[in-house]
Chain A
């Protein structure tokens, strides 16, 4: 079985400050990890992924995520938040060889001007 936990329903941060959105996972074998973003009334957009290799992954719009195998975490980060980053963020995992994605419950990011 595979599962994802996003422990925060909402994260509030001031514009210009760094942001972190947390994600922990459980999977048998090696994980493929993903972050997706959902803007209001839109579908999910792919942000970044960890497949293998460097633990620090860079993605779209200045976001990055750090894979930590010992802590089974894949936190999303950005050095300087923008108001336009306000959206719903989903972490997802799937095991190598499987296609089914398991999503977390989502974290709403609010960036205040």
Chain B
């Protein structure tokens, strides 16, 4: 089954304790992206990757890091989490080239993070 998986689904942590949220896709997509969802703000892009070893900042990158060492994986790293990073996080992936039915992004189930 084609899917994007994220782990963990729920996480409660304390300020300053490094954490990683994993994301994996099995569709051989080149493009992967992280979003955060906050009430009234929709989804805002944190970081994205066009392919292996190619990453770039989105609209709200401060406090986050990413890496893309393999095509299928795109982990999100919070080196020193703070309470303002409490949010719902989504990973998404898609093909890079716009051909045929290759336009839409596929989303993971989300990770609800609480930083106290």
Which A residues fall within an 8 A CB radius of B? Answer: 4, 6, 9, 32, 34, 36, 41-46, 49, 51, 90, 92, 96, 99-106
Contact = CB atoms under 8 A, between A and B. Distances in A.
B94 A34 contact: no
Given A43-B107, A46-B106, A49-B104, A105 B50 contact: no
The interface centre, meaning the residue of B4, B31, B107 with most chain A CB atoms within 10 A of its CB, is B107
Interface in B35-87: 35, 40-45, 48, 50, 58
Nearest to A9: B40
Contact of A99 (B4, B44, B94, B109): B94
B103 A100 contact: no
Contacts, number: 58
A56 B44 CA distance: 28
A34 B107 contact: no
19 contacts: A6-B42, A34-B103, A34-B104, A43-B4, A43-B90, A44-B43, A44-B90, A44-B92, A44-B107, A51-B103, A90-B43, A92-B43, A96-B98, A100-B45, A100-B58, A101-B105, A103-B35, A103-B44, A105-B42
